[in-house]
């Protein structure tokens, strides 16, 4: 994909449904009694992996344009998969499904693409094993493929070393089937979509600070889920509007759950002109339209509790920091190294190739803003968020930028380049 600089970005855009919430709606619908109707479902490759896994365990799932209908079969209604479950590029599918599969009365095997086969799974293997699960990494390297021989589970109180919603959710889902209460305490609060949505399906789940508590469920009941727009897809238009001159973008219906919306705090700290309009609270998740104008950004420090609330937006914020006055420090973000790619190393490599003043640290990056960027050849490493971040960088750089493996954006935002073109034309 070859991209040219753009003078500005202007107009209105509706980003696709939230990826985390779309996955969960299919999974929880599948193990509930009756129908679950999902509006504004994200038809990206990751969420389609979740659908195909549940189809191969006997769940009927219908697609109607932007709507998905899941015919749930209840907590004990899944059947042994017809083959190896392919989670594709999706960490959320792999880790959350493991929590559901551990207590089933059958054996299953999970695998995925080259990236998934390198991502750490001990973080779920350890707590699920403590609950009585029989789950192992078939290559013995703590990664997929995973084999799970279903067994009865018991509740535990798990103290997680990482703030990870995937780890927390895997344990809570296993806890639905376990004997007794299950508790997960995190070092910092991660996104709480599982807790909010499971409650909607009728589960007995509650939160005490950074601890989530679940009691086993007799059954869950199918419901209707309206998926808000994904703030992790909105961030590309936010960044483009902030760094390009004479820009104004209205991003409609974006999920602003506080455990996800650290981006808004950081933008404010950087002096960005963003306002929230049409705030609403349909369903369990708050939403708003984001109105963004070109801004004179200043450097900031991003650390601590903010990190899990914006983990997927950090690469794009690193780009914004290149256009800010002064220095931006991102720390406490070592988790970035174990995403779809090592997002610290790859942001530093690619932004450096474009002329940015950026250094890698143990757990983040330091960016000295103000050096103009120039076009370059960017290796996305097939990481959708890297490809989209550099498509935005290309708009604000001098000369042409080429992005390798640019089609990986289909993981979370299949129409991304069309929308970016439309707004910058
Ligand atoms: C997700 C949680 C986060 C996030 C990922 C989606 C989820 O991962 O980076 O894109 O849907 O629960 P971790 O749980 O590894 O932090």
- Which pLDDT belongs to residue 283? 84
- Say whether 166 counts as a known binding-site residue: yes
> CA angle, corner 361, sides to 360 and 362, nearest 5?
130
- What's the gap in Å between 94 CA and the centre of ligand 1? 11
- Which pLDDT belongs to residue 282? 79
User: Which residues participate in catalysis according to the annotation?
Assistant: 312
- The first and second tokens of residue 398, run together, are 């001098």
- What's the gap in Å between 166 CA and the centre of ligand 1? 5
Mean pLDDT of the chain: 98
Strand order in the sheet with 248-255: 10-14, 248-255, 287-293, 273-280
Strand order in the sheet with 33-39: 60-64, 67-73, 33-39, 224-226
Q: Phi, psi at residue 88, to the nearest 5°?
A: 60, -125
| Residue having the nearest C-alpha atom to atom 4 of ligand 1 | 312
- What's the gap in Å between 92 CA and the centre of ligand 1? 6
| Residue having the nearest C-alpha atom to atom 10 of ligand 1 | 312
- What's the gap in Å between 31 CA and the centre of ligand 1? 21
Percentage of residues of the chain with pLDDT beyond 90:
98
Strand partners of residue 10:
248
177 Ramachandran zone, left/alpha/beta (phi>0; psi -120 to 50): alpha
- Say whether 341 counts as a known binding-site residue: no
Alpha-carbon distance 425 to 91, whole Å?
35
Ligand 1 pocket by Cβ (under 6 Å) = 20, 92, 164-166, 169, 190-191, 311-312, 335
Asked whether the predicted pLDDT for residue 127 surpasses 90, the reply is yes
The model's pLDDT over 82-119, given as tens digits with 9 standing for 90+, comes to 899 999 999 999 999 999 999 999 999 999 999 999 99
Strand order in the sheet with 377-379: 2-3, 401-404, 377-379
The model's pLDDT over 232-288, given as tens digits with 9 standing for 90+, comes to 999 999 999 999 999 999 999 999 999 999 999 999 999 999 999 999 997 889 999
Kindly give the interhelix angle for 122-130 and 91-101, rounded to the nearest 10 degrees.
10
Please choose from 28, 120, 165, 195 the residue to mutate so as to test ligand 1's pocket, defined by most ligand atoms within 8 A of CB. Answer: 165
Alpha-carbon distance 119 to 143, whole Å?
6
Q: Tell me the mean pLDDT in the region 42-50.
A: 97
ω before 109 within 30° of 0 (cis)? no
Asked whether the predicted pLDDT for residue 61 surpasses 90, the reply is yes
Asked whether the predicted pLDDT for residue 63 surpasses 90, the reply is yes
Band of residue 64 on the pLDDT scale cut at 50, 70, 90 = confident
Band of residue 65 on the pLDDT scale cut at 50, 70, 90 = confident
Q: What is the pTM of this model?
A: 0.98
The model's pLDDT over 6-29, given as tens digits with 9 standing for 90+, comes to 999 999 999 999 999 999 999 999
């Amino acid at each position: 994909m070859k991209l040219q600089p753009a003078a500005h970005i202007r107009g209105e855009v509706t980003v696709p449904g939230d990826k985390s919430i779309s996955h969960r709606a299919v999974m929880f619908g599948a193990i509930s009694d009756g129908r679950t109707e999902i509006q504004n479902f994200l038809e990206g490759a990751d969420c389609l992996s979740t659908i195909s896994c549940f189809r191969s365990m006997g769940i009927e799932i219908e697609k109607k344009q932007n709507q998905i209908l899941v015919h749930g079969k209840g907590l004990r209604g899944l059947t042994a998969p017809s083959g190896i479950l392919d989670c594709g590029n999706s960490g959320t599918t792999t880790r959350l499904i493991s929590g559901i599969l551990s207590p089933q009365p059958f054996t299953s095997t999970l695998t995925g693409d080259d990236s998934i086969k390198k991502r750490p799974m001990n973080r779920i293997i350890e707590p699920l094993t403590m609950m009585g699960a029989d789950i192992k990494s078939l290559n013995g390297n703590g990664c997929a493929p995973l084999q799970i021989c279903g067994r009865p589970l018991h509740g535990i109180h798990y103290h997680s070393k990482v703030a990870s919603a995937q780890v927390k959710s895997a344990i809570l889902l296993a806890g639905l089937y376990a004997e007794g209460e299950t508790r997960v305490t995190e070092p910092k609060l991660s996104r709480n979509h599982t807790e909010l949505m499971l409650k909607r399906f009728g589960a007995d789940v509650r939160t005490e600070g950074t601890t989530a508590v679940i009691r086993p469920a007799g059954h869950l009941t199918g419901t209707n889920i309206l998926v808000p727009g994904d703030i992790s897809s909105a961030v590309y238009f936010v960044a483009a509007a902030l760094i390009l001159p004479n820009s104004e973008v209205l991003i409609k219906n974006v999920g602003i759950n506080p455990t996800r919306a650290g981006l808004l705090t950081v933008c404010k700290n950087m002096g960005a002109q963003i306002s929230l309009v049409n705030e609403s609270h349909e369903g369990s998740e708050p939403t708003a339209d984001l109105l963004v104008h070109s801004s004179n950004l200043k450097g900031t420090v991003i650390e601590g509790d903010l990190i899990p609330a914006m983990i997927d937006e950090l690469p794009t914020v690193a780009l914004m920091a290149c256009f800010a006055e002064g220095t931006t420090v991102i720390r406490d973000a070592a988790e970035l190294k174990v995403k779809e790619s090592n997002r610290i190393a790859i942001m530093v490599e690619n932004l450096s190739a474009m002329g940015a003043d950026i250094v890698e640290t143990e757990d983040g990056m330091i960016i000295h803003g103000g050096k103009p960027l120039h076009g370059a050849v960017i290796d996305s490493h097939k990481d959708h968020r890297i490809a989209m971040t550099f498509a935005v960088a290309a708009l604000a750089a001098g000369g042409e930028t080429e992005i390798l493996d640019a089609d990986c954006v289909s993981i979370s935002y299949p129409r991304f380049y069309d929308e970016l073109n439309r707004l910058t034309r």
